[in-house]
Structure 1
Amino acid sequence: MTDKLITIARIKGAHGVKGEARIQSFTAAPDACFTYGPFLDKDGEAFLTPLKWRRQKDEFIVTFREALTREEVAALRGRELCAPRAALPEPDPDEFYITDLIGLTVQTVDGEPAGRVAAVQNFGAGDLLEIDGPEGRFYLPFTRDAVPAVDIAAGRITIDPPVLDEVEENG
């Protein structure tokens, strides 16, 4: 498959004894993950087709068209469920799909080349751009102050990295 894939949900584990799965949705409207057709695997192959789902706290209990046993669902725990990028709605202004940011060139506000976006990470304190720069890989907070401009069409991100104060050693 040539279209970019986006992870829209993850199997958290089995529910009950009838082959139902607990699904964590990553879409902005949580139940939207069930509207993009069958879930695809990381290779873009149709993997599972949701038949029925119901919300339970912060997850969904899902019955699939494919007849699965509890053990088969349990073995899929942690499996990412994807959809083609083209099937998803266009994001609002100032919102981005992570996959659209990967590979964009990065420049400073002064126009100096700063590298390419390698990944977008979140270790619990907010999104970080992981950038392959001329002097190695570095992280930058994905905030309006540090990243004042993202131009997907031009394939460019403009950054204004914070200046770190030099630490003086006291003798």
Structure 2
Amino acid sequence: MNDTQRRILLGRVVGAFGVRGQVKIESWTEPREAIFRYQPWTLRDPQGAERELQGARGRETGKHLVATFPGIEDRDAVEALRGTEIFVPRSALPPPKAGEFYWVDLEGLRVLNVDGADYGTVSHLFSTGANDVLVARGERERLIPFVEPDFVKSVDFDAGTILVDWDADF
């Protein structure tokens, strides 16, 4: 799927804030409030129904962002959105800086170790707080700390590979 068709999950609605229709959002952008720069959003509710939303505004609070959505004016309407995922097209995101990657761009790349062993492809990445972890799925699943240059030696988008220094027995 090319970048104009590929959608990126940027966050989700986690609940209501107050009684006037404000929405608590969990954002996975860096910084968190950058999610408001990438609109329109495609909202997908837990049942799979989708709709487009333009004009969301918000501010940062402690743990979440608090947003207002056009047309959402009371707590009940917000509660109906709980669990709704927020997507944008990959093409809406700016190019990453040199030496940086969007996790979604790493998904599907082949993972090879320095000895030539093929660990399969990148399924996804997740954060542990201490470091990010690359999940490679091949003949089995491997969790590889995404720590450059200690374990991740190189990322080659042209070749479609990630070279890692990770023992085959781990």
Q: Same fold (TM over 0.5)?
A: yes
Answer whether contact 1:49 1:66 (CA < 8 A) is retained.
no
Name the counterpart of 1:168.
none
The 1:93/1:158 distance shift into structure 2, 3 A limit, reads same
Q: Give CA-to-partner distance per residue, 1:50-101, whole Å, 9 cap, x none.
A: 4432332343221111335311212322322111110001111222111111
Letter in 1 for 2:127: N
Answer whether contact 1:6 1:82 (CA < 8 A) is retained.
yes
Normalising by structure 2, report the TM-score: 0.81
Is residue 161 from structure 1 mapped to residue 166 from structure 2 by the alignment?
yes
- Match among 18, 31, 34 for residue 33 of structure 2: 31
Name the counterpart of 2:95.
90
Letter in 1 for 2:38: Y
- Match among 21, 24, 46 for residue 23 of structure 2: 21
For residues 50-89 of structure 1, the aligned pairs below 5 Å read 50-89=55-94
* In 1, Cα distance between equivalents of 2:121 and 2:65: 36
Q: Give the CA deviation at 1:157.
A: 0.5
Gaps of 5+ in 1: 166-171
Answer whether contact 2:135 2:142 (CA < 8 A) is retained.
yes
Answer whether contact 1:5 1:44 (CA < 8 A) is retained.
no
3-state secondary structure, aligned to 2:123? strand
Is residue 141 from structure 1 mapped to residue 145 from structure 2 by the alignment?
yes
Normalising by structure 1, report the TM-score: 0.81
Answer whether contact 2:10 2:35 (CA < 8 A) is retained.
yes
Answer whether contact 2:154 2:162 (CA < 8 A) is retained.
yes
Answer whether contact 1:146 1:162 (CA < 8 A) is retained.
no
Letter in 2 for 1:97: Y
Greater Cα shift, 95-104 or 122-131: 122-131
Letter in 2 for 1:92: K
The 1:122/1:55 distance shift into structure 2, 3 A limit, reads closer
Name the counterpart of 2:12.
10
The 1:108/1:52 distance shift into structure 2, 3 A limit, reads closer
How many equivalent residue pairs? 164
Gaps of 5+ in 2: none
Q: Give the CA deviation at 1:129.
A: 1.2
3-state secondary structure, aligned to 1:91? coil
Greater Cα shift, 15-24 or 54-63: 54-63
* In 2, Cα distance between equivalents of 1:32 and 1:99: 17
Answer whether contact 1:50 1:62 (CA < 8 A) is retained.
no
Greater Cα shift, 59-68 or 149-158: 59-68
